[in-house]
């Protein structure tokens, strides 16, 4: 299997293909920043149906499968879809501002988490393994599709990214990535789409379906500073198991008439809590 050599970036309803290599090497951080700035400076408008295209990945699967067969199996649509699906990962340059605010920790964290979970339901490509979401105020997070890996994989990736950024790469005094720009690097390429009216109707239907699901999600997060994983490990307990047990206990106390069953998978040595309603 060949490694992908490009990413796809979504910004203001447009899709851009960005090569990660130039002259046989990976782009340096300052060069990647240059490519992102070129996208931000691009004033072109979305093509018909382009802005909300990713809603097809957020709604029911059957309409998306039928649209793929009918409208994305040939021509420019197939080439652009191949660019998205063969990209190393997907990036959204989000126009909103998110992140933790000390003056309003609960609401800000709730909004931050909800945005990473589903955004506007058309600005994350939910079929990709993961989408990096970069907000207008510089905050960043990940939307990950769960079937290929458990959460610790993304956690380790994120720890690597953050530590490398802080300890090895760093920034210049003016806030830019260290290094120089490179005018010889080709500009990001706009992906081209020809989305007929019938497909645009399916996109809107999928978006409505996704919005109903998103609006039905209540998400509340808050900072917990009483203790961390260090104390849990001193008790010779896995932090993951500790949290899983806490979730089960909270659920049991809240829904005493339910039974919690742990389903075990011996091969991968993980388990998930499955709440089942007890029949009376």
Among 146, 156, 176, 251, the active-site one is: 146
pLDDT tens-digit profile of 107-143? 899 999 999 999 999 999 999 999 999 999 999 999 9
**Which residues pair with residue 11 across a beta bridge?**
14
Going through 169-279 in order, the beta strands assigned E by DSSP cover 189-190, 258-265, 270-277
Domain residue extents for the chain = 6-216
Give how far the C-alpha of residue 122 lies from the chain's centroid of Cα atoms, to the nearest Å. Answer: 12
**Which residues pair with residue 262 across a beta bridge?**
273
Is residue 146 annotated as a catalytic residue, yes or no? Answer: yes
> Does residue 48 surpass a pLDDT of 60?
yes
**Binning pLDDT at 50, 70 and 90, where does residue 269 land?**
very low
Nearest to 114 by CA among 87, 90, 94, 128: 94
* pTM of the predicted model as reported, rounded to 2 decimal places: 0.84
Per-residue CA distances from 266 to 154, 176, 243, 274 (Å): 22, 48, 20, 16
CATH of domain 6-216: 3.30.559.70
Please tell me the distance from the alpha carbon of residue 92 to that of residue 126, in angstroms, as a whole number: 12
pLDDT tens-digit profile of 173-220? 999 999 999 999 999 999 999 999 999 999 999 999 999 999 998 888
Nearest to 81 by CA among 61, 95, 64: 64
pLDDT tens-digit profile of 56-82? 999 999 999 999 999 999 999 999 999
Nearest to 172 by CA among 30, 40, 39: 30
CB 130 within 8 A of CB 151: no
């Amino acid at each position: 299997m060949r490694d992908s050599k490009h990413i796809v970036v979504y910004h203001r309803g447009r899709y851009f293909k960005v090569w990660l290599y130039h002259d046989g090497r990976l782009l340096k951080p300052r060069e990647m920043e240059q490519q992102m700035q070129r996208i931000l400076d691009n004033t072109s408008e979305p093509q018909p149906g382009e802005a909300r295209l990713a809603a097809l990945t957020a709604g029911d699967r059957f309409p998306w499968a039928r649209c793929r067969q009918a409208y994305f199996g040939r021509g420019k649509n197939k080439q652009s879809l191949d660019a998205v699906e063969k990209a190393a990962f997907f990036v959204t340059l989000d126009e909103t501002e998110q992140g933790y605010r000390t003056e309003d920790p609960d609401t800000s964290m709730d909004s931050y988490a909800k945005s990473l979970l589903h955004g506007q339901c058309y600005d994350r490509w939910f079929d990709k393994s993961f989408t990096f979401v970069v907000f207008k105020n510089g905050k960043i997070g990940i939307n990950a599709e769960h079937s290929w890996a458990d959460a610790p994989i993304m956690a380790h990736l994120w720890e690597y990214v953050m530590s490398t950024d802080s300890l090895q790469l760093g920034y210049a005094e003016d806030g830019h990535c260290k290094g120089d720009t490179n005018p010889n690097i080709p500009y990001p390429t706009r992906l081209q789409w020809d989305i007929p009216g019938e497909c645009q109707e399916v996109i809107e239907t999928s978006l409505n379906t996704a919005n109903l699901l998103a609006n039905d999600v209540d998400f509340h997060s808050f900072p917990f500073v009483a203790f961390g994983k260090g104390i849990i490990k001193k008790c010779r307990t896995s932090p993951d198991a500790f949290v899983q047990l806490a979730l089960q206990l909270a659920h049991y106390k809240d829904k005493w008439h339910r039974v919690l069953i742990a389903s075990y998978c011996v091969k991968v040595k993980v388990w998930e809590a499955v709440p089942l309603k007890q029949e009376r």
